[in-house]
Structures are given as C-alpha cells and as structure tokens.
Amino acid sequence: QAKRFGGDRVEPFRPAFRDGGSNIVQIEADLHRAIERDQISLVYQPIIAAKTGDIAGFEALMRWHHPRRGDVPPTEFIAIAERSELIGELGAHALEMAAAQLMEWETALPEMPVFVSVNVSAQQLVRRDFTNLVSGILARHPQRTHTLRIEITETSLMQNPEQNVRVLERVKALGVKLALDDFGTGYSSLSYLSRFPFDVLKIDRSFMRPISSGRDALLRSIIDMAHALGLSVVAEGVEDEDDRSVLAEMGADYLQGFITGQPLTPEDAATLIAQRNPIVAREEQAAE
C-alpha cells in the first residue's frame, strides 16, 4: 500500500480530507514548496459581454500541478491553505501573477483592454497588510486602465463584516474593482450586501440549473435589483445557448461558463484576445 505513493508515477488526485491526517500534513508541506518549485499557475476563463459575445475579461483560476498527485483541484488545496498561514502567500502570488499578466497584455494588445478578476479569500482580506500588498503589486505592475479586479464570496465577507468593509473601501480607492462572488449561496440579502462597496455581482452557477419553475423570475429580480444598486452582473456557470439567450434578454451584463470556454493558459488567452472575434454569436447578426 505504502508503495503506491512512493514512486514517481502520477496518481489520480485523492481528496485530501478523506485521506489520513498525516497525508494532509504531507500535502500542506508540498504546498509550502509549490510556489518556489513553480507548480502554481493561473488559468483564465473568458467573461463575455452578454449582448455582443465580445471578450470583456477573464477570471484567473489557480492550478497546482503536483508532480505525483497530478492536478490538485483548487477547492481542495485552497481549503488546506486557508487552514494555515499559507493562503496569504498563495493569494499574494496569484495577485502578483495576474497583475503581471495584465500588464503584459496591455503592452502587447493596447487597443484591446480586458480585465482580470482574481479570487481572494477572507483570510487574505483580514491580514493587516492586505491593502499594502495590493498597492505594492500595482506599483510593480502599473495598470493603465485600472483593470485588476478582485472577487470575494459572500460567506467569507460575513466572517468579519465591519473590518471587511473598511479593507474593501481602501482597496477600491486604489482603483481595483470589486466583485461579489457566488451570490445566492449564502443567506444575505442584496440590501445587506449593498453596505459593501462592490461594483460587480456574480450570480452563482447553481442558479443555472433548471430546478424550479421560479428560476427565471428569481434571476430577473436579482439582475434588476443589482442594477438598481448600481452593480453590473456576471452570470456564472452559463453552459448552453438557452441560458445565454435567456440571460441576455434579462439584461445580465456579462456571462461566464463553459459556453465561454474552459479556463485557458495565458498564451491561449492572448491568442483569443488578439482574434477579436465574439465567442458566441452576436444577437444582431443572428437576427439579420
């Protein structure tokens, strides 16, 4: 049994929490070295304008390529990192890579500005130096068009709401746009959430499942209320043309999901930006 993990063979990833405790310790130790060993990267999932299909930006999603375990899903290793101080280092690395990538794209493709939205966890936000971290990164990688975004889930905000409002206000003042991630998975009302200085609301992909007949009414009211509060709306988990046309008709501003493509390497993302083609058919063209 022990030999299974001894060699250099690539094993399919086994969920860490179902492994023994010592294995979590091992994964954590591996994660500690993952950055210096260059095993951490970002992939970029396109976010498109709902009406035109044009690329508006990307969500940066972290990947860990473990030499023996293969690709470890972020839901697994982020959770491990969040239980230790590691999340600070990993999160800083993600922000740094994304900002560097944005600067590279701005230079190579100046007439095609895109935003990059980076996931930030609650534990990063409450670290005393988070605002300094972001301002340092922006100083090292100046953004011409203020296109760096961060996204935070509702559940992580609620761990420390008063402090989080203050941190978010300072980060926003640096020119970073703020998105509320996975809206609808927690229990907070939009009016409560409006106390936070968000610019963008991302509707969780669980709303895309046609579970109830009330889905469309619910989506429509979320979109309308977000707009009334001055937020733009990204619908997540958009997988097919039906979802796309319904959401575009409801006035969702941006769409993200398998319909816009799987997350891409930086090289493939750059190629896509340079092609300038809408990712899905334009409404107007389809109608003509």
Q: Which residues in this chain contact Mg ion in the complex, by CB under 5 A?
A: 119, 151, 181-182, 236
Task: Name which of Mg ion, ligand C2E, none residue 101 binds, using a CB cut-off of 5 to 8 Å depending on partner kind.
Answer: none
Least CB distance to ligand C2E at residue 73 (A)? 5
Query: Is the CB of 106 or the CB of 182 nearer to ligand C2E?
Result: 182
Structure token digits, residue 277: 């083609």
**Rounded distance between C-alpha atoms, residue 179 and residue 231, angstroms:** 9
Q: Which of Mg ion, ligand C2E, none is residue 61 near (CB under 5 to 8 Å by kind)?
A: ligand C2E
Q: Give Cα separations from 228 to 30, 194, 233, 247 (angstroms).
A: 46, 11, 11, 17
Contact status, residue 49 vs residue 56, Cβ threshold 8 Å: yes
Nearer Cβ to ligand C2E, position 183 or 196?
A: 183
- Selection from Mg ion, ligand C2E, none that 168 binds (CB < 5 to 8 A by kind) is none
257's contact among Mg ion, ligand C2E, none, with CB below 5 to 8 A by partner kind, is ligand C2E
DSSP structure class, residue 262: S
Give all strands (DSSP E) within the chain, no chain letters: 40-49, 55-66, 70-72, 115-119, 148-153, 177-183, 200-203, 232-235, 254-256
CB of 3 to ligand C2E, least distance (A): 30
**42 C-beta neighbours (distance < 10 Å), count:** 22
**CB 205, min distance to ligand C2E, A:** 5
3 state SS of 10: coil
Closer by beta carbon to ligand C2E, 85 or else 285: 85
- Return all residues near 49 (Cβ < 8 A) that are at least 6 apart: 56, 253, 254
Q: Which of 126, 56, 120, 122 is nearest to 94 (CA)?
A: 120
Pick between residue 109 and residue 158 the one whose CB is nearest to ligand C2E: 158
Of 131 and 256, nearer to Mg ion (C-beta) is 256
Residues that bind ligand C2E (CB under 6 A): 45, 61-62, 73-75, 78, 91, 94, 119-121, 181-182, 205, 237, 239, 257-258, 263
- Min separation Cβ 74 and ligand C2E, Å: 4
46 binds, among ligand C2E, Mg ion, none (CB under 5 to 8 A by kind): none
User: What's the CA gap between 142 and 174, in Å, rounded?
Assistant: 11
The option from Mg ion, ligand C2E, none interacting with 75 (CB < 5 to 8 A, set by class) reads: ligand C2E
Closest C-alpha to 133, from 92, 100, 84: 92
